[in-house]
Amino acid sequence: MDNDVLLLDAYSQIFRSFYAIRELNNARGEPVNAAYVFTRLLLKLEKSYPDRRRIMLFDSGKVEFRLKLAPDYKANRPPMPDALKAQIPLIKKIAAAFGWKLFELPGFEADDLIGMIARRCENSCRVQIVSSDKDLSQLVNSNVTMLVPQNGSKGDFEERGISEVTAKFGVAPELIVDYLALLGDASDNINGVPGIGPKSAVELLSTYGGAETWLEDVSLIEKSRFFKRLDGNFELLRRNRELVRLRTGMAPELENELPGMLTAAAPAWREIAEICRDNQFNSILKELPEDAPGGVENASVIEDDGDMPLFDFVQKSDPVEADTAAEEEKNSKKSFQQLELF
């Protein structure tokens, strides 16, 4: 297992962490809700998948080649909340302490970087991608799987390989690009082919095969009952395929850094414990290895109904806020259980 590689789509999990628990501050009044939940994710991964080489990929800036195809690509997304933006340096510090190598490259999305590394490593080791992003399903093969965070307090992961991807979407990983191009993606502001839904896309691709073939000769699908819906939308479909398809050709900047990133690093438990103490992540401190330095002093911990403590009680300076702590605990537990985190 020590040769396996874990790749994590950073911002997808950071945003999920931010919305899992709201209004959680440390004793200095700084927001730490995303950092707390993200720390739990990394601890769970360390316990469940130890001794892996770990790389965390971040989005960085605009992706020009996709914006040239669609100037309104992801234009519908709101800016990062200030309360989350303030936590990014802390989150990166925590990730580095857990032994993750961090990388971002302007002009590429994290998904593209994950694709580059997965394709480079897949012939020599097993690659596991921590994400629930359906776009990454196109990378799955016999040596590349996804670890999809699941609901519930135990924080388990569904390992999604070829058969699981096929069962979920109705098409094999090699047809995921065509499937998503037909459907579009509202979250990325990509319009699909009108009148084509998941069942229609599966039927079309199962009957006539990948779009690359029949886009070159549309007469191959003239007898399809979906032809009228596709007619006039072939250019849209071609564009969508380019938007959805991940760039897996190795970028020179990544290639230069990759050998160093593909070295395993053990978690720095002393540093992790210090970060937890500094931000009152008291229940996490209790879960660190026994030989990790630290301890919990003057800690009041709210326990979850399940096996995992949900979040720590954070000192509040406002008496009115303190009076509402019980209600916040109830609401935060409800939010945590409803979101697909881990």
Residues 7 and 45 in one domain: yes
Give the end of a domain, one of 218, 244, 270.
Answer: 244
- Residue 312, pLDDT score: 34
CA distance 7 to 10: 9
Residues 36 and 126 in one domain: yes
pLDDT class of 155 with cuts at 50, 70, 90: low
- The pLDDT tens digits of the residues spanning 45-98 come to 999 999 999 999 999 988 999 999 999 999 999 999 999 999 999 999 999 999
Residues 104 and 154 in one domain: yes
Residues 71 and 156 in one domain: yes
Residues 87 and 179 in one domain: no
CATH of the domain at 240: 1.10.150.20
Q: What is the mean pLDDT of the chain?
A: 86
- The pLDDT tens digits of the residues spanning 92-132 come to 999 999 999 999 999 999 999 999 999 999 999 999 999 99
Give the end of a domain, one of 186, 213, 244.
Answer: 244
Give the end of a domain, one of 244, 267, 302.
Answer: 244
- Which tokens belong to 322? 């303190």
Residues 253 and 238 in one domain: no
Residues 236 and 187 in one domain: yes
Share of the chain above pLDDT 70, in %: 83
CATH of the domain at 115: 3.40.50.1010
Q: Which has more pLDDT, 261 or 308?
A: 261
Residue-range definition of the domain harbouring residue 36: 1-164+247-342
Residues 48 and 92 in one domain: yes
Q: Work out the average pLDDT over 170-187.
A: 97
CA distance 166 to 137: 10
pLDDT above 50 for 180: yes
Domain total for the chain?
2
pLDDT class of 136 with cuts at 50, 70, 90: very high
- Our CA angle for 52, 57, 59, nearest 5°, is 170
pLDDT above 90 for 293: no
Residues 139 and 273 in one domain: yes
Residues 158 and 252 in one domain: yes
